[in-house]
Chains A and B, each alone.
Chain A
């Protein structure tokens, strides 16, 4: 593993990107769709032409082709080779590692055990679950002995529970192996959880810092609401009941205690009438502030003295027909709540 430095990297989708990731650190790039996040990873991996300098371990690699750069790029679609078993995928990826042919089976077994996919060794990826595919893709990329890991929205296609589980696993794995990693995500909570530092990307440009320091570029981010809460009782079906300013919340049981839950601004559902569906995780509040933006509306609600920030589309806001001072009904969906 090595450190990574980008100096003035530009192309059709990127403008003058600079940053440095120390060896063994994780760095997250967050931003909305079309901001250039994937283009940044593709430029680093050597899959897209670019100007500017890229240094890995002090060595300039911008003129190197992708196969020489030794970047462990895991794309959003993973692209596990469907005609090969998982074992075959890993063995093929070892070509670059310069490992002796007789040592490869041992290393393959080691990696599959590490990612807990040993039982899938002889199977092809077509029938795997999302989580199994994700593990297999990580095992394959590690088999290629990369100098860096480049992960493009690694957990976005997984269901809520699997994503949370795998995030925790990956975090521990990354720390244990000391992998220098760039993670691209649109989820600022994921970015904060996985990476020590982050940058916000908008229209191909990058601003380094935290979401709150990101200034105008950070305005679009789904900076979460953090809601103080108290666990009131354990329920069946792996759920716990919480008390918060808005009343009662049900969330998945983490098997640990916590006193706050996070929910993204764009995940809060509000309207003048109660939202459809079962009557759990509902609340009522007052509309305090309304700020129209380009294609969305930012709203501040007051729920029993707690300020709740909400971002919704212009169309939905128009249909809700709410104004400051009105009483609004809201819903916090269980899958959008993240115990902290």
Chain B
């Protein structure tokens, strides 16, 4: 390591200590007996279960919408595509609270809330609202990751599959999806971690009701507000632990994927002689 490298390591060390310090600061706020009691508290357990179920539901919605959208965007060019892609990226940079207010108005009684209620779907202040809010935040991440993954697959595989007589749906399911799989899974993990930690939009759409719409971030918020620091910190630590594991998994998937590149050649699309 030369002098410049050592110089560069300084800021890295500073920020690593800052990140570790944030976690340590959370831990020092409560005693170990208090923390272990809080981990077993019914509210913590409910919030963890609720977060897992709701974020899984949100991911199902995000994949159902995101994967086909990404496939279409990766293959088709059309006027206004750039504008559409920017619109799809907007939820990534939109403050979650603003996204939540928008969803609240959209699914409120004046707009879609009425028609949805008539078919038995109630989103505002219900767990389904939490699913909708988290899906809204996670879907653009899935689209972005999956579009890149589909674009990185050599189109020659699809052409070969077509000449072998495979139908478009079979080609999507048996060729393109598996070849883009690692990139998509890596994006899904990131989106899931983001959905688990979602607070602002969930608060606006589903509200913050104990044992009803209480996800881990909502539990942190509610318990800090009422002075139950032990439960708040234990929920925060569970959330951080889950995020750490997911991010680690995403890194693992990406690393494995790097060694199994589906191999886009240097041929353009469409190809020519």
Contact = CB atoms under 8 A, between A and B. Distances in A.
Given A75-B159, A77-B265, A82-B179, A141 B164 contact: yes
Contacts of A46: 162-163
The residue among A69, A82, A84, A126 with the most chain B CB atoms within 10 A of its own CB is A82
B272 to A, nearest CB: 6
Nearest to B167: A67
Contacts of A141: 164
A70 B168 CA distance: 15
Nearest to A126: B260
A40 B273 CA distance: 8
Given A73-B163, A92-B166, A13 B156 contact: no
B245 to A, nearest CB: 26
A42 interface: yes
Given A46-B163, A66-B163, A95-B165, A79 B157 contact: yes
B162 A95 contact: no
Contacts of A38: 271-273
Residue from A48, A72, A81, A97 having most chain B Cβ neighbours under 10 A:
A81
A73 to B, nearest CB: 4
A34 B273 CA distance: 6
Nearest to A124: B260
Given A79-B157, A95-B170, A140 B164 contact: yes
B166 to A, nearest CB: 6
Contacts of B157: 79, 81
Contacts, number: 87
A82 B262 contact: yes
Interface residues of B, number: 27
Interface in B145-162: 154, 156-157, 159-162
A81 B170 CA distance: 14
B272 A70 contact: no
Given A75-B156, A82-B179, A95 B166 contact: yes
B273 A35 contact: yes
A229 to B, nearest CB: 37
Nearest to A49: B270
A231 interface: no
A34 B168 CA distance: 30
B178 interface: yes
A36 B273 contact: yes
A235 B207 CA distance: 88
Contact of A83 (B160, B178, B270): B178
A96 B181 CA distance: 25
Nearest to B263: A82
Could you say which interface size class chain A belongs to? Answer: 35 or more
Contacts of B154: 77, 79
A340 interface: no
Contacts of A180: none
Contact of B164 (A12, A83, A144): A144
A220 to B, nearest CB: 16
Contacts of B262: 82
A38 B268 CA distance: 14
A223 B260 CA distance: 42
A182 interface: no
Given A75-B156, A79-B154, A82-B262, A12 B163 contact: no
Nearest to B179: A83
Interface string A59-93: 00000011111111101010101111000000011
B174 interface: yes
B101 interface: no
Contacts of A71: 163
Nearest to A144: B164
Contacts of A95: 164-167, 170
A39 interface: yes
A96 B265 contact: no
Interface string A1-28: 0000000000011000000000000000
Contacts of A37: 273
8 closest A-B pairs by CB: A96-B165, A39-B273, A66-B162, A73-B163, A79-B160, A38-B273, A83-B178, A144-B164
25 contacts: A34-B273, A38-B271, A38-B272, A39-B272, A46-B163, A47-B270, A66-B159, A66-B162, A67-B163, A70-B165, A72-B163, A73-B160, A77-B154, A77-B265, A79-B157, A79-B159, A81-B157, A81-B161, A81-B179, A82-B260, A84-B178, A93-B164, A96-B166, A140-B164, A141-B164
